[in-house]
Structure 1
Amino acid sequence: MTPTCNAVPIDIVPSLVGSHAGRLLVFAEPAAPGTSTSKVDTSAFAPTRAYVAGREVAGLEAGEQTSVDLETDTYPKAFTSMPPGRYRFQAVLDRNHNYNYRGRGAGDLISPVIEAEMPGACPQLTLSDELPQKTPEQLLAQLPPDLRKRLGAGLAAVRKVEFISPALTKFWGQPVSVRGYVALPPRYGRDAVTYPTVFKIGGFGSSMVSASADAAFAQIGMASGKLPPMIWVVLDESSATGTHEFADSVNNGPWGTALTAEFLPWLEGQFRMDARSGSRFLTGHSSGGWAGLWLQTRYPATFGGVWATSPDPSDFHDFANVDLYAPSANFYRRDGAEVAAFREGGKVIATNAQFAQLETVLGSYGGQFASFEWVFSPRGQDGRPMPLFDRATGVIDSTVTEYWRSNYDISDRLARDWTTLRNDLDGKIHVVVGGSDTFYLDAPARRLKAVLDRLGARSSFTFVPGRGHFDLYAKGSDSDALTADIAWEMYAIARPGSERTTRMR
């Protein structure tokens, strides 16, 4: 009788001493004949490529044997449903609970890839290696020589900033910082001149590493004259729960207050900034775009304009292709059909159900949908954010959606409070999004535009035909042309009468 693989055995080599906790994950994918790999993984952009199983472990000792059930907490199905064939297996212990946000990384434990015939006996997987932290030099070494040289020079010039927030520290009961990197104009410090400031916010998956790179590219751009002379502050919005969006939240804490009431005055005391509303600008892509919109609309007198690119949904009548306010709304199905999550080339490549259920197996922290709930949802009796929808059925909780509407639906707030907001906000909202955005984010942007148009507000919306989420910034051979266009629009507001140049001294 053929043995059944219901639970895969896992142990740790004796050399990895100590007690190890985290999310223990098992991945399996078909083994193509004549190929080999050192990594078996999943991707939301290829949701059926691999099988995944997971469980929490509180303390796994070196040399200790444990197992992961392959029947219950699995995606897309139980492993026993795999078609007959040869498969590659790999185990990962996600010690930082951030697999949903960054995938495997420094500190995680991994096993070698083991092949096995299915159906058949489960392979023995042994966690034998701890992934190291890559140095900046190692990361640069992966780049082409010319880019490596330019980026290295930019990184050497940027400055790290970190401010311990009293408000966030009080909320969490331990020191919590607002942090990022600053890029300064080429002539900064040679005289008493002050400069406009751009606050750039990273998107989902961003980190201090990506913030340093973004600041370095701003440094390079100003040195070449591609960008006007401004102070760029690239903010890190990553957290253990995903992205905190710089929004005050009952779950994540007062990030908006920390930024505007604490970090901003401190920062303007450190650098020669104009330190006035008309010279403070916001920009960001995706989740960073939503954060920029939120900060501009929540603190309209503080900032002089937002340029949000492909922002996450600003109108919850169209949130991940779902009208959250519709009667009997379901996150997974509408009119008998699966709700699409991603598209590419006009083809649906993943559904909301696939995306959410994969995220659930990978862990309860840091995933995109869970990240939204940590920002937008009320706190439940268990101390965690109340889920927007049931992960098994897709049924939406109307109590949660009403809380979202009252507190974080940007379109709803603008319509409700425009009389109060108009004087400080009119003309400050600029949105650029691809007409074929990969995550369908053009649709909620159109709804936001319609709301502002009905209010008679002055705003700027650009829908770039044929562009998706990841190619929006490209123009010709320049993959980042949109950044320069945005920067010069900002500079024209801060310095009226200035002209765009191709090279600045």
Structure 2
Amino acid sequence: MLKNHLLTACLGLFTILTTAACDTGTAPPYDGIGHTPEVIVSLDGTPGGSDGISGPIDGRMILIFSTDDKTEPRFQVSSGVKTTAQVFGIDVAGLAPGAEVRFNKDVFGFPVDSLARVPAGEYMVQAVLHRYETFTLKTGHTVKLPMDRGEGQQWARAPGNLYSSPVRLRLDPTSGDALRITLDRVIPPIVPPEDTDYVKHIRIRSELLSDFWGRDMYLGAHVLLPHGFDDHPDARFPLMVFHGHFPADFDGFRTTPPDLDTPCEFSDRFQVDCYNHIVEQEAYDFYKTWTGEDFPRFLIIEIQHANPYYDDSYAVNSANLGPYGDAITHELIPHIEREFRGIGQPWARFLYGGSTGGWEAMAAQVFYPDDYNGAFAACPDPIDFRAFTLVNIYEDANAYRIRGPFGRVERPGHRNWLGQVSRTLKDDNHLELVLGTKNRSGGQWDIWEAVYSPQGQDGYPKRLWDKKTGTIDPSVAAYWRDHYDLRHILERDWKTLGPRLEGKLHIYVGDMDNYYLNNAVYLTEAFLKTTDNPPYGGEVDYGDRAEHCWNGDHANPNHISRLRYNSFYVPKIMKRIAESAPKGADLTSWRY
């Protein structure tokens, strides 16, 4: 009976793999029963290919099986094992129209690791070819990576990617016939947003990044102008940098009230009905606040710095991504200040954001202590790598599991505010490995390695841990500590950093953060409390039972507070300006 239960767990399409054979990350030897399933994906054989490209194509071929026909399978892939479609991936090189790619039992998949283990049945099946481009880096390495094409590194939506029309197929291991599908469609280009009276869009070529990547590379930004900008040509404005994931347009700003005739959308995450209307109302309320008579006039920018690894760069210099920190701080921000009458002085520049943006805000302040006057970091990505979510990268031998002499336990990857776990760290990482080798998945764990790791001999990032097994490389962990562990850097360099950061660091996190990010904040706060000569002089605060991404607002539930970054920190910024602006600073032209 126990053997049958274990076999069922291994065969389940949307269950966590629990047997020893399953958790190796490789398919077990085929047992010879029935036939080995096989799926053949071919490129449209029309002249020039399905998108008119006649040359060979490099990339990642992704094959998806789904039991849900309400949306395309490509939009159903996630690391949540209860809801994700089944996905497999193969690296391909030099594909021409008419070429075929074969998926068999040896191709690694998620959540089931082998096509041989997918239960017989009917599925909606689709394939996507995520295209790579060739880069010759300043370091001399040649790498093949998926260049962002305006979508924010989303393989399922990236313009130029080839994909097949979804088709219903029956997978039958007793049949010797291979299933066949054809890439017959191409994802169209994305139309960039247009300027409005309040929101402007800029794009500049970065000399620093172009030099590193060996081709023209660009930085962009959405700029929110203060009310009355054109009517006060002599005013110059402080700058607030709202860090975060790839913004298609300026987030959280809407000049019209929500359309209440649109259907309500229930938020599973927050268990709130009509959450779409709530989001739109908050955006409209911010517009009314932004244009109010008593509200101080600022510039706010959201940066577009998607790159060949992720939807943003983490706003720091990196061995694998290049000098994004310098490019943002010394090229992009001065350009915006010149273009839109920013004050252009460090005392008038502030950083804030949540999650990735929270880490970026704090990191930019730490690495450029004299260029900014305060960072407000909400629910930041791990700022102490002794708590890299639930992994101590310096002491743990394995990221995915804790072992004892007679047993083991898988490390959780995501929880809700009640502590209920929906996936493990292994789930997150195995899905990324299916979507792209060599850190090319566009996923969270891959970008942490791409940003923080040294460059490998092949030109790609060195792995902190083996992606299949979770075994940690201590030499890479040591590199992470010395270059990007913010708590370690603060403690190591406080004698010189402390005087330049006094009063500038403000950190907020919910104590039930979905990704366990509060653990690193506890450790960082413990150090900050010991500082003297000078004391850090900032703030660390926790939201009781608040999930990701709480921003310090105790007055509202998390599903509302997380929408108010742009207005919530303004009183704190005004207080900081009053305390720190140099004698003779312009404190009036922007207070009309």
Shorter-chain-normalised TM-score: which range?
0.7 to 0.9
Alpha carbons 1:92, 1:127 under 8 Å: kept: yes
* Range with bigger deviation, 311-320 or 45-54: 45-54
Shift in Å at residue 302 of structure 1? 1.2
Give the aligned residue type for 1:484. Answer: S
**Mapped partners of 1:238, 1:227: distance in 2:** 32
Structure 1 gaps, min length 5: 138-151, 498-503
Q: Secondary structure at the match of 1:88?
A: strand
* Range with bigger deviation, 262-271 or 447-456: 262-271
The equivalent residue for 2:161 is 108
Aligned: 1:60 with 2:95: yes
In structure 2, relative to structure 1, the CA distance for the partners of 1:386 and 1:478 (3 Å cut) is closer
Aligned: 1:179 with 2:220: yes
* Range with bigger deviation, 80-89 or 282-291: 80-89
Alpha carbons 1:215, 1:233 under 8 Å: kept: no
Shift in Å at residue 240 of structure 1? 0.9
1:29-428 equivalences under 5 Å are 29-30=66-67, 37-40=71-74, 41-46=76-81, 49-76=84-111, 77-95=113-131, 97=146, 101-105=153-157, 106-111=159-164, 112-119=166-173, 120=175, 121-135=177-191, 155=196, 157-191=198-232, 192-203=234-245, 206-207=246-247, 209-210=248-249, 212-213=250-251, 221-223=289-291, 228-242=296-310, 243-326=312-395, 328-335=396-403, 336-344=408-416, 345-364=418-437, 365=440, 366-428=442-504
Give the aligned residue type for 2:170. Answer: A
Alpha carbons 2:36, 2:104 under 8 Å: kept: no
**Mapped partners of 2:301, 2:454: distance in 1:** 31
- Give the TM-score normalised by structure 1: 0.86
Q: Give CA deviations for 1:246-283 in whole Å, capped at 9, x if unaligned.
A: 11112111111222233333332222222222221001
Shift in Å at residue 224 of structure 1? 5.1
Q: Give CA deviations for 1:41-85 in whole Å, capped at 9, x if unaligned.
A: 311234673321111222333333332234232223101112343
Alpha carbons 1:53, 1:69 under 8 Å: kept: no
Q: Secondary structure at the match of 2:179?
A: coil
In structure 2, relative to structure 1, the CA distance for the partners of 1:444 and 1:118 (3 Å cut) is farther
Shift in Å at residue 390 of structure 1? 0.7
Structure 2 gaps, min length 5: 1-31, 133-145, 255-282, 581-590
Alpha carbons 1:114, 1:125 under 8 Å: kept: no
In structure 2, relative to structure 1, the CA distance for the partners of 1:417 and 1:168 (3 Å cut) is same
In structure 2, relative to structure 1, the CA distance for the partners of 1:496 and 1:317 (3 Å cut) is closer
Alpha carbons 1:168, 1:254 under 8 Å: kept: yes
Alpha carbons 2:104, 2:116 under 8 Å: kept: no
**Mapped partners of 1:241, 1:56: distance in 2:** 16
Q: Give CA deviations for 1:179-215 in whole Å, capped at 9, x if unaligned.
A: 2111111111323122211011123xx24x14x3457
The equivalent residue for 2:526 is 450
Q: Give CA deviations for 1:155-182 in whole Å, capped at 9, x if unaligned.
A: 5531122332222222222222332111
The equivalent residue for 2:65 is 28
Give the aligned residue type for 1:450. Answer: A
Alpha carbons 1:114, 1:123 under 8 Å: kept: no
- Give the TM-score normalised by structure 2: 0.74
Q: Secondary structure at the match of 1:413?
A: helix
Q: Give CA deviations for 1:348-385 in whole Å, capped at 9, x if unaligned.
A: 11111111111011013122122111111111111211
The equivalent residue for 2:516 is 440
Shift in Å at residue 232 of structure 1? 0.6
* Range with bigger deviation, 314-323 or 11-20: 11-20
Count of aligned residue pairs for this structure pair: 476
**Mapped partners of 1:95, 1:227: distance in 2:** 47
In structure 2, relative to structure 1, the CA distance for the partners of 1:174 and 1:101 (3 Å cut) is closer
Alpha carbons 1:184, 1:230 under 8 Å: kept: yes
Give the aligned residue type for 2:108. Answer: D
Q: Secondary structure at the match of 1:160?
A: strand
1:468-487 equivalences under 5 Å are 468-470=547-549, 475=556, 478=560, 480-487=563-570
* Range with bigger deviation, 464-473 or 175-184: 464-473
**Mapped partners of 2:192, 2:452: distance in 1:** 35
Shift in Å at residue 129 of structure 1? 1.6
Give the aligned residue type for 2:214. Answer: G
* Range with bigger deviation, 62-71 or 345-354: 62-71
Q: Give CA deviations for 1:212-245 in whole Å, capped at 9, x if unaligned.
A: 3457667665135696421011112321111321
Alpha carbons 2:226, 2:290 under 8 Å: kept: yes
Shift in Å at residue 470 of structure 1? 4.8
- Aligned-residue Cα RMSD (Å) equals 2.9
Between the aligned residues of both structures, percent identity stands at 29
**Mapped partners of 2:190, 2:210: distance in 1:** 29
Q: Secondary structure at the match of 1:58?
A: strand
Give the aligned residue type for 1:126. Answer: T
In structure 2, relative to structure 1, the CA distance for the partners of 1:135 and 1:267 (3 Å cut) is closer
Alpha carbons 2:42, 2:100 under 8 Å: kept: yes
Give the aligned residue type for 1:346. Answer: G
Give the aligned residue type for 1:12. Answer: L
**Mapped partners of 1:281, 1:64: distance in 2:** 52
Shift in Å at residue 88 of structure 1? 2.6
Shift in Å at residue 471 of structure 1? 6.5
**Mapped partners of 1:5, 1:471: distance in 2:** 49
Alpha carbons 1:197, 1:230 under 8 Å: kept: yes
Shift in Å at residue 329 of structure 1? 2.2
In structure 2, relative to structure 1, the CA distance for the partners of 1:226 and 1:322 (3 Å cut) is farther
**Mapped partners of 1:167, 1:373: distance in 2:** 22
The equivalent residue for 2:39 is 8
Q: Give CA deviations for 1:474-496 in whole Å, capped at 9, x if unaligned.
A: 93684623432112321333357
Alpha carbons 1:30, 1:85 under 8 Å: kept: no
Q: Give CA deviations for 1:391-446 in whole Å, capped at 9, x if unaligned.
A: 12111100001111111110001111112112220111111212211111111111
In structure 2, relative to structure 1, the CA distance for the partners of 1:409 and 1:2 (3 Å cut) is closer
* Range with bigger deviation, 71-80 or 356-365: 71-80
* Range with bigger deviation, 304-313 or 482-491: 482-491
